[in-house]
Structure 1
Amino acid sequence: MSTSDRIRQLVTENEIVVFMKGNPAAPQCGFSAGVVKVLDAIGRPYIGLNVLEDPFLREGIKEYSDWPTLPQVYVKGEFIGGCDIVRDMFANGELQAMFAGESA
């Protein structure tokens, strides 16, 4: 399976996916920690993938999304952005609205 196919499978089979440095229990950069904090606050299950452990994934996700930085957050198969965008979406209620009427 190609890296691109693997990424596509991950983001379509999981409601929320974070490609990050480190993992949700131990983020290895401030931006990844910021995303984890927001996602923990909305209370939805998500998976965090440590790109530092997989160089193919680290480069592949940047190509897949055409976005040069990490972390990268996908919700329901759609790339929504990195730390600043996720924080802004949380602050204005847009992120929570993506799950309105759904139970975790």
Structure 2
Amino acid sequence: MSAQETIKNAIDTNDVMLFMKGTPVFPQCGFSSTVTQILNYIGVEYNSLNVLEDQDIRQGIKDFSNWPTIPQLYVKGEFVGGCDIVKDMFEQGELREFFEENGIELAAAEE
């Protein structure tokens, strides 16, 4: 399977897909860490792919989305954005709403 096929398959088969440097348990860049913290905080289940493990995927995701940076978040097959966009949506209170509008179940918010 080519890098583009691997990327497309990951996006198509996961409602919430994060392409990141490292893993959710051990992010290997501050931006990836920020996005995983936000996703974990709002209680969304997601899958991730460590782009550091495959140079073709690392470049391929940038080509796929026409977006120059990693991490990249996809929801229901649509590119949402990178760290700045996810962080802005979270700070504006739009991210939880966005997931709910897309039929993504969230864990109960901790009060």
Length-normalised TM-score, structure 2: 0.87
- How far off is 1:100 after superposition? 2.3
Which residue of structure 1 lines up, in the alignment, with residue 67 of structure 2?
Answer: 67
Q: Structure 1 CA distance, aligned partners of 2:59 and 2:93?
A: 31
Matched, 1:8 2:18: no
- In 2, Cα distance between equivalents of 1:84 and 1:99: 17
Match of 1:92 in 2: 92
Q: 2 CA distance for matches of 1:48 and 1:78?
A: 15
Q: Which has the higher strand share?
A: 1
Corresponding residue of 1:17: 17
Give the partner amino acid of 1:38. I
1:64 counterpart letter in structure 2: F
Q: For the residues of structure 2 that align with 1:2 and 1:77, how far apart are their CA atoms?
A: 18
Q: Structure 1: which 4+ aligned runs deviate by more than 4 Å?
A: none
Kindly state the Cα deviation for residue 12 of structure 1 after the two structures are TM-superposed.
1.5
Cα-Cα RMSD: 1.3
Confirm or deny that 1:36 pairs with 2:36: yes
